[in-house]
Amino acid sequence: MTHPRISKIVILTGAGISAESGVATFRDQDGIWAKYDYRDVATPDGFARDPQLVLDFYNMRRRKHGDVQPNAAHLALARLEAEHPANVVIVTQNVDALHEAAGSKALIHMHGEILKRKCGNCGLQEQWSNDITRQSVCPNCKQAGTLRPDVVWFGEMPYHMETIAEHLQSADLFLSIGTSGHVYPAAGFVAEAGLHGAKTVELNLEPSEGTSLFDETIHGYAGEIVPAYVARLLAEASDR
């Protein structure tokens, strides 16, 4: 059996892909937004109101990050990039570093990275794996109290949107993995990719908000369904 040639695969990932690594999701029953109000810890207004609370929240998540490892789903996507003849690009909403730890190279962090900090005064962005405090001094502009985690908050523009749009417009296959489809612009990527002719596939524990927009849906644990789907894509590519 022959399969259509796939030249470009664009993969959107969300918190669900890291759940089996022990990273909390946001909107599941025991998720982060069940314990915190996002307006307090994930908005510029929240940071202006109570910077300590916001820094503590991300310091806690950064410390926990030291203990987590990529799971079978992250590893399968790295294998897909290494072994499939197509150009494979991951666009992740996750701020964790598990895709890169698994070996993925073409990776876009649209919501920033927990292991980076940025200066609200001069715009410096750099790798950072320790706590950030209100006394922290920016190594570039020497101001104190201006450093924050380099993560995108609600009300801020996600990173690399132009590059992502170009990828979506040239995709033959679009996969959405472990995301509830509640947060735009990422939730709109399936429509954008579909409009430009990509086949669209959802791989998630349960139907997402936009599940009816996908050509195919596969529901189950990412650690099981993603390796199986990647094996299928690799087998189809070698059949051609």
Binding site residues, ligand OAD, CB under 6 A: 14-16, 19-20, 25-28, 31, 38, 42, 93, 111, 152-154, 178-180, 182-183, 204-206, 208, 221-222
Question: What is the rounded radius of gyration, in angstroms, for the C-alpha atoms of the chain?
Answer: 18
- In the complex, the smallest distance separating the C-beta of residue 189 from ligand OAD, rounded to whole angstroms, is 12
The whole-angstrom separation of Cα 213 and Cα 190 is 7
How long is the chain?
Answer: 240
- In the complex, the smallest distance separating the C-beta of residue 202 from ligand OAD, rounded to whole angstroms, is 10
Q: Which is catalytic among the residues 74, 84, 99, 111?
A: 111
- In the complex, the smallest distance separating the C-beta of residue 174 from ligand OAD, rounded to whole angstroms, is 16
Runs of H (alpha helix) within the chain: 32-35, 38-41, 44-49, 51-65, 72-83, 98-102, 161-169, 189-195, 222-239
Q: Which is nearer to ligand OAD, 17 or 86 (CB)?
A: 17
Among this protein's residues, is 111 annotated catalytic? yes
Angle at 133 between CA 127 and CA 138, to 5 degrees: 55
Q: Checking DSSP bridges between strand 8-13 and strand 87-92, what pairing results, if any?
A: parallel
The whole-angstrom separation of Cα 74 and Cα 76 is 5
Q: Which is nearer to ligand OAD, 38 or 228 (CB)?
A: 38
Q: Which is nearer to ligand OAD, 25 or 172 (CB)?
A: 25
- In the complex, the smallest distance separating the C-beta of residue 194 from ligand OAD, rounded to whole angstroms, is 19
Q: Which is nearer to ligand OAD, 159 or 221 (CB)?
A: 221
Which sequence positions are flagged as catalytic?
A: 111
